[in-house]
Chain A
Amino acid sequence: MTVHQMPADNTKPAYNYAYLDEQTKRMIRRALLKAVAVPGYQVPFGSREMPLARGWGTGGIQITAALIGPADTLKVIDQGADDTTNAVSIRKFFERTADARTSEATEEATIIQTRHRIPEAPLKSGQVMVYQVPMPEPLRKLEPREAETRKMHAWAEYGLMQVKLYESIARFGEVTTTYDYPVMVNGRYVMSPSPIPKFDNPKMHMSPALQLFGAGREKRIYALPPYTSVKSLDFEDHPFRIQSWTQPCGLCGAGDSYLDEVVIDDQGGRMFVCSDSHYCETRRAEGHRGTMLGDAAASGLVEETTP
Chain B
Amino acid sequence: MIAPGFSDPVFQSQAAFRALLTALSEPGTLQQVAGEVPPPEGLTAATATALLTLADYETPVWLPEALRSGPAGAWLRFHCGATVVDKPAEAAFAVIDGMADEPKLSAFNLGTDQFPDRSTTVIVQIAGLEGGPALTLAGPGIPGSRNIAPLGLRPGFTDELRENGALYPLGVDVLLAHGEGLIGLPRSTQVEEAR
Q: Which residues of A contact B (CB under 8 A)?
A: 16-17, 22-23, 25-27, 29-39, 41, 43-44, 66-70, 150-151, 153-155, 186, 188-189, 206, 208, 210, 223-229
Chain B residues within an 8 Å CB radius of A229: 140
Mark B14-31 against chain A: 1 for CB-CB distance below 8 A, else 0.
Answer: 110110111011100000
Inter-chain contact A36/B21, CB cutoff 8 Å: yes
Q: Name, among A29, A41, A67, the residue most crowded by chain B CB atoms within 10 Å (CB to CB).
A: A29
Q: Which of B53-61, B96-104, B151-159 contacts A (4 or more CB under 8 A)?
A: B53-61
The stretch among B35-43, B63-71, B109-117, B123-131 that forms the contact with chain A is: B109-117
Q: Which of B135-158 contact A (CB under 8 A)?
A: 139-143
In B42-99, the 8 Å CB interface with A consists of 53-56, 58-59, 92
Q: Which residue of B lies closest to A37 (CB)?
A: B186
Q: Which partner residue on chain B sits nearest A72 by CB separation?
A: B18
B113 touches A41 (CB 8 A): no
Is A69 within 8 A of B15, CB to CB? yes
When chains A and B are docked, how far (Å) is the Cα of A66 from the Cα of B53?
Answer: 12
A30 and B54 contact, CB distance less than 8 A: yes
| B55: chain A residues within 8 A (beta carbon) | 26
Whether the pair A228, B11 counts as a contact (CB closer than 8 A) is no
Residue of B nearest to A26 (CB): B56
Q: Beyond the given A225-B26, A225-B141, A227-B140, please list 11 additional residue pairs across the A-B interface where CB-CB is below 8 A.
A: A29-B17, A29-B20, A30-B59, A32-B21, A37-B173, A38-B187, A69-B15, A151-B114, A186-B139, A227-B142, A228-B140
User: Is the beta-carbon distance between B173 and A34 smaller than 8 angstroms?
Assistant: yes
Instruction: Check if B25 sits within 8 Å of A223, measured CB to CB.
Output: yes
Tell me, in angstroms, the Cα distance from A206 to B140 when the chains sit together.
9
With a cutoff of 8 Å between Cβ atoms, the chain B residues found around residue A37 in the complex are 24, 173, 186-188
Most A C-beta atoms less than 10 A away, residue of B9, B24, B54, B173:
B24
- Cβ contacts under 8 Å, A206 to chain B: 143
**B interface residues with partner A (beta carbon < 8 Å):** 9-11, 13-15, 17-18, 20-22, 24-26, 53-56, 58-59, 92, 113-114, 116-117, 119, 121, 139-143, 168-169, 173, 186-188
CB pair A189 B54 closer than 8 Å? no
The answer, among A29, A36, A70, A224, for a CB contact under 8 Å with B53, is A29
Contacting residue for A210 out of B10, B21, B53, B56, CB 8 A: B21
Contact between A36 and B186, CB atoms less than 8 A apart: yes
In the complex, the number of residue pairs spanning A and B with C-beta atoms less than 8 Å apart equals 108
Q: Chain A residues with Cβ under 8 A from B140's Cβ?
A: 39, 186, 224-225, 227-229
Across the interface, do B121 and A189 meet the contact criterion of CB distance under 8 Å? no
Q: How far is the CA of A37 from the CA of B188 in the complex (A)?
A: 6
Minimum CB–CB distance for B143 against chain A, Å: 5
Complex A-B, nearest 3 residue pairs according to Cβ-Cβ distance, in ascending order: A37-B186, A225-B141, A34-B117
In contact, A154 and B113 (Cβ under 8 angstroms):
yes
- With A29-B54, A30-B54, A228-B141 in contact, is A210–B25 under 8 Å at CB? yes
Partner of A188, one of B141, B142, B168: B168
Distance between Cα atoms of A243 and B36 in the complex (Å):
51
Say yes or no: A41-B14 contact (C-beta < 8 A), given A36-B25, A226-B141: no
Could you tell me if B117 and A38 are in contact, using CB atoms closer than 8 angstroms?
yes
In the assembly, what is the distance between CA of A155 and CA of B113, in Å? 8
A150 touches which of B10, B59, B114 (Cβ 8 Å): B114
Q: Which residue of A lies closest to B14 (CB)?
A: A69
Give the complex CA separation of A206 and B10 in angstroms: 33
State how many angstroms separate the Cβ of B158 from the closest Cβ of chain A. 19
Q: List 5 A-B contacts (CB under 8 A).
A: A34-B116, A34-B173, A38-B187, A189-B169, A208-B143
